[in-house]
Chains A and B, each alone.
Chain A
């Protein structure tokens, strides 16, 4: 019970911080885009970022923001799993469904981060003069450089959640069978 309480507290703190960051980020972008003149002096330069708009430059930041939003949703689903655990209702359909959703979203974030990083680097290379051309060794280097620890860990955690979801689903069926054995 102590473990669940600690987990619940930590997930709640994480969720509140993520929502706070999301709201502050949204307010910041709106303020920079529409109220640039009213902003304090040290914040006024940021509007230049949006004025020299080039989608290639914005690809990685934009997908990072999208992945951040998806991450908030994944944490929200994890948060929904905690209450049945707290009530010792381990075979609740809520746990199975939310773990599956959360796992799928974590895997999605991990894979999309790698893909967009590769695309971003290739696009940037296309804009710069490349000495000796793009060899297969260079592409292998790009792919390796995009697979950092956090992304790999996120994909592993996502797959674990998908596995747990399947395990809980099987356990639920077994429990039902056991309950209906007279």
Chain B
């Protein structure tokens, strides 16, 4: 898929663990792992909003479009 999820990069920048982020935004670590690995088919605006709020960043910091 040409949409790349840079969540692990943002987590490293903010020095935050996946487990902590999952707890803050209220999703399971398994679902966060699906999102990080790029296996997710879609992301809800509410989840994106919660991630941006928790990591203090913009959606563009997490999602990136790369041509095939």
Residues of A participating in the B interface, judged by any CB pair closer than 8 Å: 176-177, 180-182
Task: Answer yes or no: B66 CB below 8 A from chain A CBs.
Answer: no
Task: Answer yes or no: B13 CB below 8 A from chain A CBs.
Answer: no
- 19 further A-B contacts with Cβ under 8 Å, apart from A176-B41, A177-B42, A182-B34, are A177-B41, A180-B34, A180-B39, A180-B40, A180-B41, A180-B42, A181-B40, A181-B41, A181-B42, A181-B43, A181-B44, A182-B27, A182-B31, A182-B32, A182-B35, A182-B40, A182-B43, A182-B44, A182-B47
The complex places the Cα of A182 from the Cα of B30 at a distance, in Å, of: 10
The complex places the Cα of A110 from the Cα of B44 at a distance, in Å, of: 48
The distance from the CB of B1 to the nearest CB of chain A, in whole angstroms, is 11
Interface string of B22-36 (1 = CB under 8 A from A): 000001000110110
**Within 8 Å CB of A181, what residues of B?**
40-44
**Within 8 Å CB of B35, what residues of A?**
182
* Residues in B3-19 with C-beta less than 8 Å from chain A: none
Residue of B with least CB distance to A180: B41
The distance from the CB of A113 to the nearest CB of chain B, in whole angstroms, is 45
**Within 8 Å CB of B34, what residues of A?**
180, 182
The complex places the Cα of A108 from the Cα of B12 at a distance, in Å, of: 61
The distance from the CB of B58 to the nearest CB of chain A, in whole angstroms, is 18
11 contacts between A and B (CB under 8 A): A176-B41, A177-B41, A177-B42, A180-B40, A180-B41, A181-B40, A181-B41, A181-B43, A182-B32, A182-B35, A182-B42
The distance from the CB of B49 to the nearest CB of chain A, in whole angstroms, is 13
Identify the interface centre among A176, A180, A181, A182: most chain B CB within 10 Å of its CB: A182
The complex places the Cα of A97 from the Cα of B31 at a distance, in Å, of: 29
**Within 8 Å CB of A182, what residues of B?**
27, 31-32, 34-35, 40, 42-44, 47
In the A-B complex, the 6 residue pairs with the closest CB atoms: A180-B41, A181-B42, A182-B35, A177-B41, A182-B40, A182-B31
Identify the interface centre among B34, B41, B43, B47: most chain A CB within 10 Å of its CB: B41
The complex places the Cα of A9 from the Cα of B31 at a distance, in Å, of: 40
Residue of B with least CB distance to A177: B41
The complex places the Cα of A23 from the Cα of B42 at a distance, in Å, of: 55
The complex places the Cα of A176 from the Cα of B42 at a distance, in Å, of: 11
The complex places the Cα of A181 from the Cα of B42 at a distance, in Å, of: 5
**Within 8 Å CB of A180, what residues of B?**
34, 39-42
